[in-house]
């Protein structure tokens, strides 16, 4: 699971569908062993980019290199595997039969019992796929992706349908693989997953990268903080008129003030009002996501 080449090299990647530009000159480098969250709103171009990365779609312009080779070559050699939102699982086979059958598609594979255990579905190996829950079927896709022991794993909404415990176990398994050198790129709508498990976050909007950095760096791009306090009967208009205030929200007896000057707002609440239980918190990943992916784009 080691390589001297970048795991992924995307240069000027462009893909259009009629008059719609899904991916617009996107360039990205991912190094071996990185766990990268690929985030963006619906229609941002995430899935189209992933399809081109896996060789499932051809770019109109730009180039894709995966582990120093073409996507087709890397996939054929078993160096790349994917867990996608949908896939053609045969509903009449058992879970174990599905893994055994798929293992014959590769020259070298990990033992079926091992990948079933790693995916957390060894106990349902004899269950017919059609009787598995959505989360169990997604775990089966994960087991199939583990078979060739890939250097790069690409995941598109991999934990859809999984319960909380299943999601946690899934990501802990992937983090162990990353420490051994496997590269992981994943797209998800669960921002808490990106916050907790990604080394790096790439935010895309309208087919372009708008931010790229660690979780802390991305959060810092959403300037300001939130001041929360207990203040029955809060005067929302007065608070909104204070200098440095971006937004005010009243929830029952609590008030939340988003501001670029949290010290001044906290001082005002403590000295000019009857506020108590004042808390100051930094913006979270969701704040950064919204700020960076819903920005005004101009005419």
pLDDT of residue 264: 95
| Low-confidence spans in the chain with pLDDT less than 50 | 296-299
pLDDT of residue 299: 33
pLDDT of residue 281: 87
Phi, psi of 149 (to 5 degrees): 55, 60
Task: Please state the separation of Cα 187 from the chain's center in Å.
Answer: 4
CATH 3.40.50.300 segments of the chain:
8-79+150-220
Pairing of strands 254-259, 225-230: antiparallel
Residue 255 and residue 242: Cα distance in Å, rounded? 14
Q: Which of 4, 8, 6 is CA-nearest to residue 186?
A: 8
DSSP letter at 18? Answer: T
pLDDT of residue 98: 97
Class of domain 8-79+150-220: alpha beta
> What is the CB-side half-sphere exposure of residue 26 using CA atoms within 13 A?
36
Residue 64 and residue 79: Cα distance in Å, rounded? 15
Q: Which of 168, 182, 213 is CA-nearest to residue 37?
A: 213
pLDDT of residue 297: 43
Count of beta carbons in the 10 Å neighbourhood of residue 211:
19
Decide: helix, strand or coil at residue 34: coil
CATH 3.30.70 segments of the chain:
225-282
Phi, psi of 168 (to 5 degrees): -65, -45
pLDDT of residue 220: 76
Show the CA angle centred on residue 180, arms to residues 177 and 183, nearest 5°: 60
- Between 1.10.357, 3.40.50, 3.30.70, 2.60.120, what CATH number should domain 225-282 receive? 3.30.70
Q: Which of 229, 223, 228 is CA-nearest to residue 246?
A: 223
Residue 74 and residue 122: Cα distance in Å, rounded? 28
């Amino acid at each position: 699971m080691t390589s001297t080449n970048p795991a992924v090299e995307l240069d000027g990647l462009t893909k259009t569908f009629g008059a719609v530009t899904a991916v617009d000159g996107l360039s990205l480098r991912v190094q071996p062993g990185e766990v990268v969250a690929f985030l963006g709103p619906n229609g941002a171009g995430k899935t189209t980019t992933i399809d081109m990365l896996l060789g499932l779609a051809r770019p109109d312009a730009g180039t894709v290199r995966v582990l120093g080779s073409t996507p087709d070559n890397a996939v054929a050699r078993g160096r790349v595997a994917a867990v996608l939102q949908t896939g053609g699982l045969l509903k009449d086979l058992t879970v174990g039969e599905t893994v055994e059958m798929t293992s014959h598609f590769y020259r070298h594979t990990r033992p079926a019992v091992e990948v079933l255990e790693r995916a957390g579905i060894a106990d349902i190996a004899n269950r017919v796929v059609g009787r598995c829950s959505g989360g169990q079927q997604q775990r089966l896709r994960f087991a199939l992706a583990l078979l060739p022991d890939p250097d790069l794993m690409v995941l598109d909404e991999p934990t859809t349908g999984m319960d909380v415990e299943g999601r946690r176990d899934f990501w802990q398994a992937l983090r162990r693989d990353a420490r051994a050198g496997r590269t992981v790129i994943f797209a998800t709508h669960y921002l808490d997953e990106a916050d907790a498990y990604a080394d790096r976050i790439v935010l895309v909007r309208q087919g372009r990268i708008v931010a790229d950095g660690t979780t802390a760096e991305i959060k810092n791009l959403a300037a300001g903080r939130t001041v929360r306090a207990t203040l029955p009967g809060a005067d929302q208009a007065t608070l909104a008129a204070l200098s440095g205030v971006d937004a005010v929200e009243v929830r029952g007896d609590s008030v939340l003030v988003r501001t670029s000057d949290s010290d001044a707002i906290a001082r005002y609440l403590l000295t000019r009002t009857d506020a108590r239980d004042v808390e100051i918190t930094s913006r979270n990943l969701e704040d950064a996501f919204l700020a960076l992916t819903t920005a005004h784009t101009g005419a």
